[in-house]
Copies of this chain bind each other. A is one copy, B any other.
Amino acid sequence: MIPSTSRLRPLAADRVTILDGFWGDRLRTNRERTIPHGFAELGHSGVLDNLRLAAGMEGRYRASADSGGSTLPFVDSDAYKWLEAVGWELGRGAYPALAEAADEVIGLIGAAQQPDGYVNSFIQLGSGQPHQDLAWSHEFYCAGHLIQAAVAWHRAVGDDRLLEIAVRAADRIDAEFGPGRRDGIDGHPVIEMALVELTRVTGDRRYLALAARMIDLRGYGLLGDGRFGRSYWQDHAPVRDAAEVAGHAVRQLYLDAGAVDVAVELDDDTLLDAVRRRWDDLMHTRTYLTGGMGSRHRDEAFGDPYELPPDRAYTETCAAIASVMLAWRLLLATGDPGYADAIERGMYNGVLPGISLSGTRFFYTNPLQRRTERTFEPPAHGPRAPWYACACCPPNLMRLFSSWQQYLATSDASGVQLHQYTAADVRADVGGDPVRLIMRTDYPWSGRVAVHVVETPDTPWTLSLRVPAWCRSASITGPDGVGPGSAQSGAGRGATSSDWADIRARSERSEPASRAPQVTDRGMLQRTRTWRTGDAVVLELDMPIRVTEPDPRIDAVRGCVAVERGPLVYCVESADTPPGVPVEDLRWDASRQPAAEPRPDLGPAVVGVTVPLADGGTAGAIPYYAWANRDVEAMRVWLPLP
């Protein structure tokens, strides 16, 4: 992605390599277990059969049977998202099994595509009439995911088989819906982002114009009222006017991500400001402590401000993924480190819980509370599932993990910015000269991040390091020598060294509504100098256990507290409560302090928290992302005070 008018520039997929540690482990699981599992499920669920049948081959058309009797119109997108993930992976290495599987799927898509460029197995196997029911049909939505996969293959692998298919599909849509032709928008946004990327890849500005048109057509009732009202499909208010997020969370977030893409390409500050305004309101009034978004099951929607029930949180995994995509675009567009904070919170606590540690079981929704006694559940209904009839989330996780290294760092004319901390090799250009940095860290278990300069020009440039909003005290050592004897620069609590400038975030830092507002005046630590190969900087982010009180406007968690440490939100599972004490009966003892404890049972270096209970005992809290990986009945993030 190379946006035109962004404040920060992304680094190409091959410029950043995640080395090992927390994210290295997760990404290996993604490649070795999750993506192959996904391919198997594309087969079992009938998604590939749909494409085979649309291509005139033999197939069982299983997609309908697995979705409870009604075929879901968007199953093609499962394949496209999976292909996008594989594209990013093949950019990093030769994985013959993945490549072979992808070849098969690409072949099916190409064979299914009609001569006019149209491809959508649901319509081709059904009515045969394209674009008759844009409110529900997800045709542009599927095309959007096709384009996104094609862009990934183009950028990561230099393989344009998918891009040729995608261009034909996009041209087919443009021919019918381009400027001056039929007005059409999709009930489920996503194609807007994709079309902007297609312009960036091909240079053909027709796609950008079509995306802009699809943004501008919304809000005038083109799709009708439907069952859930116009906000469900983001047709209730013009995109430039709506002051608050509304309706289906994933659709709102995808739409706003596309709006940012259009805004930066067209230098459209009005549009960008509208998205920023909504994001700010969203963070302050409708975001869970976990970064999760979407409070309502009925229509997968945002609720009222401060309507954030922990038990019935919908907080779809895809919404957390979408929030990362949107926050990333806003970070690029503005440089505001608050958006990187949101990415961090969302990745660790909103996205990661959506997949098991094994990599092959998923959550569609991510509640912050599960009771010991529950309403009737079918016998086979466990807390995590290997796949879903509506399987949007699993391949969405795959593609985000496969491209996660692209979210770590950016560059601009003056230097390099490190937004997320994990062991990684980062290469960038500053003023046309190569810069290469190696990050070493045990993050998120430790707040110590060492940055080594491996390659640098002989001219001054600026290194910027994010200080997360949760961090109340940060110190930095170097680059003028690394070690205990070096100068300490206090980044928090007013102690800013003369070496490192503490750049206040441009906007007030946005923290989720589900925590008490915290005043923070930190943002990015910056140092401009002539760097030398071998220079090293060590950032120490203080990472005490934090006991978080909810915003008093959140009715659903009144009288409760939650535990956080570093970027992680914690929870208590029934497996870690005293014998015979259900999770519901736990009461937090505010007079005693929680304590860190190693939890090797959940992975190397994992830090758990022992929480004090009012009965004098304790319970073990684990990172929320790791919940439901053992045999558990109940869990809660917010613990009541006595």
Which A residues have a C-beta under 8 Å from some C-beta of B? 68-70, 224-227, 229-231, 236-237, 242, 244, 246-247, 285, 296-298, 301-307, 309-312, 369, 371, 373-378, 381, 553, 555-560, 584, 640
Chain B hits for A557, CB < 8 A: 555
Q: Name the contact of A558 in the complex, choosing from B244, B369, B560 (C-beta under 8 A).
A: B560
Whether A304 pairs with B374 at a CB distance below 8 angstroms is yes
Within the complex, the shortest CB–CB distance from A225 to chain B, in Å, comes to 6
Within the complex, the shortest CB–CB distance from A466 to chain B, in Å, comes to 32
The SS class assigned to the A binding surface is loop
Within the complex, the shortest CB–CB distance from A391 to chain B, in Å, comes to 16
Whether B310 pairs with A312 at a CB distance below 8 angstroms is no
Q: Name the contact of A302 in the complex, choosing from B69, B285, B375 (C-beta under 8 A).
A: B375
Whether B309 pairs with A231 at a CB distance below 8 angstroms is no
A445 vs B535: C-alpha distance in the bound complex, in angstroms? 82
Chain B hits for A242, CB < 8 A: 376
Chain B hits for A229, CB < 8 A: 376-378, 381
Within the complex, the shortest CB–CB distance from A185 to chain B, in Å, comes to 17
Q: Which residue of B lies closest to A136 (CB)?
A: B69
Q: Name the contact of A304 in the complex, choosing from B70, B375, B381, B556 (C-beta under 8 A).
A: B375
Whether A309 pairs with B309 at a CB distance below 8 angstroms is yes
A184 vs B266: C-alpha distance in the bound complex, in angstroms? 61
Chain B hits for A375, CB < 8 A: 231, 244, 246, 301-305, 307
Whether B68 pairs with A226 at a CB distance below 8 angstroms is yes
Whether A376 pairs with B237 at a CB distance below 8 angstroms is yes
Given known A-B contacts A68-B226, A297-B297, A556-B555, A373 and B305 have beta carbons under 8 A apart: yes
Q: Which residue of B lies closest to A297 (CB)?
A: B298
A86 vs B487: C-alpha distance in the bound complex, in angstroms? 89
Within the complex, the shortest CB–CB distance from A375 to chain B, in Å, comes to 5
Chain B hits for A307, CB < 8 A: 311-312, 371, 375
Q: Name the contact of A297 in the complex, choosing from B226, B236, B296, B378 (C-beta under 8 A).
A: B296
Most B CB atoms within 10 A — which of A236, A376, A381? Answer: A376
Whether B69 pairs with A310 at a CB distance below 8 angstroms is no
Q: Name the contact of A555 in the complex, choosing from B68, B304, B310 (C-beta under 8 A).
A: B310
Q: Which residue of B lies closest to A558 (CB)?
A: B559
Given known A-B contacts A296-B297, A301-B375, A376-B231, A309 and B310 have beta carbons under 8 A apart: no
Given known A-B contacts A559-B559, A640-B558, A68 and B378 have beta carbons under 8 A apart: no
Given known A-B contacts A556-B555, A560-B558, A309 and B312 have beta carbons under 8 A apart: yes
A312 vs B307: C-alpha distance in the bound complex, in angstroms? 9
Q: List 20 A-B contacts (CB under 8 A).
A: A68-B225, A68-B226, A69-B226, A225-B378, A229-B378, A231-B376, A242-B376, A296-B312, A297-B297, A297-B298, A302-B375, A304-B371, A304-B374, A309-B556, A310-B555, A311-B555, A553-B584, A555-B557, A558-B559, A558-B560
Within the complex, the shortest CB–CB distance from A274 to chain B, in Å, comes to 15
Whether B312 pairs with A312 at a CB distance below 8 angstroms is yes
Chain B hits for A244, CB < 8 A: 375-376
Most B CB atoms within 10 A — which of A304, A555, A640? Answer: A555
Q: Name the contact of A227 in the complex, choosing from B68, B377, B555 (C-beta under 8 A).
A: B68
Chain B hits for A298, CB < 8 A: 297-298
Chain B hits for A69, CB < 8 A: 224, 226-227
Q: Name the contact of A371 in the complex, choosing from B225, B305, B369, B377 (C-beta under 8 A).
A: B305
Q: Which residue of B lies closest to A246 (CB)?
A: B376
A553 vs B559: C-alpha distance in the bound complex, in angstroms? 13
Chain B hits for A369, CB < 8 A: 555
Q: Which residue of B lies closest to A560 (CB)?
A: B558
A345 vs B307: C-alpha distance in the bound complex, in angstroms? 27
A127 vs B231: C-alpha distance in the bound complex, in angstroms? 33
Q: Which residue of B lies closest to A226 (CB)?
A: B68
Chain B hits for A303, CB < 8 A: 311-312, 375
Q: Which residue of B lies closest to A640 (CB)?
A: B558
Given known A-B contacts A68-B226, A224-B69, A305-B371, A247 and B376 have beta carbons under 8 A apart: yes
A225 vs B378: C-alpha distance in the bound complex, in angstroms? 9
Within the complex, the shortest CB–CB distance from A294 to chain B, in Å, comes to 11
Chain B hits for A312, CB < 8 A: 296, 303, 307, 309, 312
Chain B hits for A231, CB < 8 A: 375-376
Within the complex, the shortest CB–CB distance from A376 to chain B, in Å, comes to 4
Within the complex, the shortest CB–CB distance from A374 to chain B, in Å, comes to 5
A371 vs B303: C-alpha distance in the bound complex, in angstroms? 11
Chain B hits for A306, CB < 8 A: 371, 584
Chain B hits for A226, CB < 8 A: 68-69
Q: Which residue of B lies closest to A68 (CB)?
A: B227
Within the complex, the shortest CB–CB distance from A551 to chain B, in Å, comes to 11
Given known A-B contacts A296-B312, A555-B311, A378 and B304 have beta carbons under 8 A apart: no
Q: Which residue of B lies closest to A221 (CB)?
A: B378
Given known A-B contacts A226-B68, A373-B304, A236 and B378 have beta carbons under 8 A apart: yes
Chain B hits for A237, CB < 8 A: 376
